[in-house]
Amino acid sequence: MLRLLGYFFGVGVGLALLVAAGIAIYVSDLSKDLPDYEVLARYEPPVTTRIHSSDGALMAEYAREKRLFLPIQAIPDRVKAAFLSAEDKNFYSHPGVDVTGLARAVVTNLQNIGRGRRPVGASTITQQVAKNFLLTSDQTIDRKIREMILAFRIEQAYSKDRILELYLNEIFFGLGSYGIAGAALTYFDKSVNELTIEEAAYLAALPKGPSNYHPFRYTERATERRDWVIDQMAENGYITHEEAQDAKSKPLKVTPRRSGSYLFAAEYFTEEVRREIISRYGEDALYEGGLSIRTTLDPDLQREARKALHRGLIRYDTLRGYRGPVKHLEYDGDWGVALSDVEGLSDVPEWKLAVVLNVSDAGVDIGIQPEKLVSGKIAEERETGTIASADMKWALRHYVEDKLQKASSPAEVLEPGDVVYVERKEADSSNWILRQPPQIEGALVAMDPHTGRVLAMVGGFSYADSQFNRATQAYRQPGSSFKPIVYAAALDNGYTPASVVMDAPFSIRSGDEIWEPKNYSGNFAGPSTLRAGIERSRNLMTVRLANDMGMPLVAEYAERFGIYDKMLPVLAMSLGSGETTVMRMVSAYAIMANGGKHIEPSLIDRIQDRYGKTVYKHEQRECVGCVAEEWRGQPEPELVDRREQVLDPMTAYQITSMMEGVVQRGTATTIAELGHPIAGKTGTTNDEKDAWFIGYTPDLVVGVFMGFDQPTPMGRGSTGGGLAAPVFKDFMAKALEGKDPVDFRVPEGMKLIAIDRKSGMRANEGAPGSIMEAFKPGTGPADSYWVIGQEEIERVNERARNLSPEANRAISTGAGGLF
């Protein structure tokens, strides 16, 4: 019997050795091509790029995987406890594989054979790190064993905290979010350290199957799973039973964070920054690089810029009548359901969509589009209101089959079922104003002239309606707003503000065609100083001046100012017939505002990589003496500006002074009401297709453009002074609010001499018709009267001697009484 037992024991030992050898060979074979777990030391997951305004406010986030990396030290203990309780309560004690949990899983799987249930994995957090980082998600025994082998090796190479850090930053939580920091923002719009017990528990419940515990589709199931995690936290001693009961009594209050732009009115600015980052670093850097981008945007100025441009566009549009409803609804029963499906302008929150319920002579009864809840459903309550006849008076001029007609009551304009835009007349009021999105578009750019920092930029009425940025992408004719470049070129090359140019008919032959420009008014002023020419925006004077000094010189200055890359040196270009952008024009005026220094417009102040290292900085000026441990009598620190001097500082002051005259006496006198020293120039193109105003104080340059996307006449009188200047005024009134007026700095050595406003000759200070004019050293009013274009006068006079008295009188009248 003993020999028989010994025989069986020997056979058993042999078989056990054979099995052990087989297992060892099997495991060794699986271990041959295991991934290199040392890559975990170089872990750099895709991280969200974040864009901030100049005051640090979050503007936008971009990511393929919404993730913000958090070191383990920054993750609160209570959040760690929730995940340990949900996933691996023995994490800090097992060697990578939880043998007890594994045995329990094996028994459960054997019991589930034939029941069609998914196998239980019993993976530890370390095993999940191995699977997520180094293996596939295949449900096979081979993968499971490879996972265990890697888990043992990872535990030997890394600390428990490092493994938990990798896990919490890598896992997928649903709704496009990865990592605990991204999940906290996505589900609760909170940072991790603000999470409550119930919120941390819900997030800990998600890695097991985010789609199974969706907060809106499977609310009950999600709540049950959350409560189970809370119970585990109490059982493991991380929280008290009282805290657990209190947490479980709370509803599953998930408030998903909206994606896209987070800062109101900054959509165009944000998109321009996004394009620049892709151009500079590529898409992967934007969507995976975890960049921190500090922009130049001033949120307060941005809101005011949007408001001012909106008012200007609406002001023009409402004067041209009502074009009809957004759409017409045919609904049966609840109008709110039908109305909820109509898409509105998401970036114009002060406007709501409404359906017309009833129309009378007194006004219109409307139903307001119900709010969409985070669950995707619409609110049950229905808000109604009224539009008084007086609040839609502008719409009585309405279009019927593309013809403008006059109505006598709202009933002739609207009918039940029409969907329209409305704006609440007063806070908490049931009275509304009828609105319609304007067809005309525009742009506004505000810039710091000393640094080129773009403080505000609006590229159109609504980014939701059109992402085309009229500030940077629309190439339009600047018209007369280009004239300061012509005058600056002249002042930089021997002319003075008192130089006199003939304002009279001008023609030039080009092949078989004759070009005959005209002043906007159709009249002529005769001989006038350069100052008078720019103040009154005289086309004929500008053409004569450009012709006198040569268009190649004008083209050189236009390119030097950055308005055009390559300008065709033809006379028509002196009147702004080329095409450029608002951003380029504002940059050019900034050069005149800052004393002639070249600037590079920038929307970005600084870019940092995921580790906080600065990889780009717009400010290139060197600060000499800024780094000192203590003061030892050394000079004050100073900024060394090595930027190119594009324009003589004295020329910059002269052209600025002349453009101050545009505001005080010329085509933009409405701006003078602001009570601050402001220089600027209007611009209007042929047939009033483009309206501009660009102006500046010593510290702020603002450019405004208005026009249809497809260049179309805006109507007689739709000038830069009538359309764009009021928008500039609205914005600048807010920008300068509470600030004392600041005069433009007069360069040292510049002389101020009294001249006659008309002749440009020296005059007595204070004499009628005189003005103080700025002259460079060695220059001054002319000693003798000379008119640029004098030769033409002499030729005309020669011809006049051979004409009848009647013809002479006609010529004299047409030239403003010159002859």
CB contact set of 32 (below 8 Å; sequence gap of 6+): none
Whether 503 and 538 have beta carbons less than 8 Å apart is answered as yes
Neighbouring C-beta atoms of residue 661, cutoff 10 Å: 18
* Greatest Cα-to-Cα distance within the chain, rounded to the nearest angstrom: 154
Whether 69 and 178 have beta carbons less than 8 Å apart is answered as no
Neighbouring C-beta atoms of residue 113, cutoff 10 Å: 9
What are φ and ψ of residue 52, in 5° steps? -125, 155
d(CA 680, CA 728): 10
d(CA 363, CA 433): 11
Q: Which residue has the tokens 């909206």?
A: 258
Residue whose C-alpha is closest to residue 796's, from 814, 816, 811, 817: 811
Q: What's the chain's length in residues?
A: 819
Q: Are strands 441-447 and 700-707 parallel, antiparallel or unpaired?
A: antiparallel
Active site residue 466: no
Provide the angle, in degrees to the nearest 10, between the axes of the packed helices 219-235 and 241-248.
170
Dihedral Cα 556, 561, 565, 568, nearest 10 deg: -40
- H or E segment at 527? strand 526-529
Phi-psi region of 737 (alpha: psi -120 to 50; beta: other; left: phi over 0): beta
d(CA 249, CA 245): 6
Q: Are strands 638-640 and 622-624 parallel, antiparallel or unpaired?
A: antiparallel
Catalytic residue selected from 85, 123, 462, 480? 480
Q: Are strands 500-503 and 787-788 parallel, antiparallel or unpaired?
A: parallel
d(CA 524, CA 505): 8
What are the Cα distances from residue 77, in Å, to 227, 453, 593?
19, 43, 56
Residue type, 609: D
Whether 604 and 618 have beta carbons less than 8 Å apart is answered as yes
Q: For the chain, give me the number of helices (H) and strands (E)? A: 23, 29
Active site residue 87: yes
Catalytic residue selected from 53, 61, 85, 87? 87
What are φ and ψ of residue 275, in 5° steps? -65, -35
d(CA 252, CA 230): 13
Q: Would you give the end-to-end CA distance of the chain in angstroms?
A: 146
Active site residues: 87, 480
